[in-house]
Amino acid sequence: MSMHSALSDVPQSAGLSPERTAFMASYLEGLTLVERLHRLLLDVIKDEFERLGILEINPVQALLLFNVGDNEVTAGELKSRGYYQGSNVSYNLKKLVENGYMHHQRSEVDRRSVRVRLTQKGRDIRKIVAELFAKHSEGLVGRGVVDLMGMDDIVSCLRRIERYWTEQIRYIY
């Protein structure tokens, strides 16, 4: 069942005004789109890698390499930045190290902590993803899908929702 159709499960006795009902329908549709866009992004990256014959890395790992960039980070830092969840980070970092996309080094201060950074092979993957995103950026503008002001509005709205959800997690529960 889609989130949008879940709206029909809200009883009329819930006391929602027509405006609130319309907002909730739009909110649920937005959530569905965010989820779908994330899956589509992974598919787009997967297709690009298949086209290039790069089969030993998955789209989540490619995004991880892209997000690490030139930084040296720990798995905990990746989690706290909100990029990845739980054991997913550890598993993907382990595979990226095993396949030569990342260097890892145990911290001198805290031996439990491992810092990672991209190898040249990892930087090559990051460059492919960056070029793909640049091509998408040009295509979105070139086809009139969205302009800078529209994209800024989208990002601004998503950041406000992110802050709201973060507050819900930190202060309500």
The domains of the chain are located at 16-142
- pLDDT at 5 exceeding the cut of 70: no
Quote the pTM value.
0.83
* Structure confidence by residue, pLDDT tens digits, 126-140: 999 999 999 999 999
The percent of residues in the chain predicted with pLDDT above 70, rounded, is 86
Which DSSP helix (H) or strand (E) runs through 164?
helix 148-167
**Three-state secondary structure call for residue 18:** helix
d(CA 56, CA 127): 16
- pLDDT at 100 exceeding the cut of 50: yes
Domain 16-142 coded CATH 1.10.10.10? yes
Q: How many CB atoms lie within 10 A of CB 128?
A: 19
pLDDT confidence of residue 84: 66
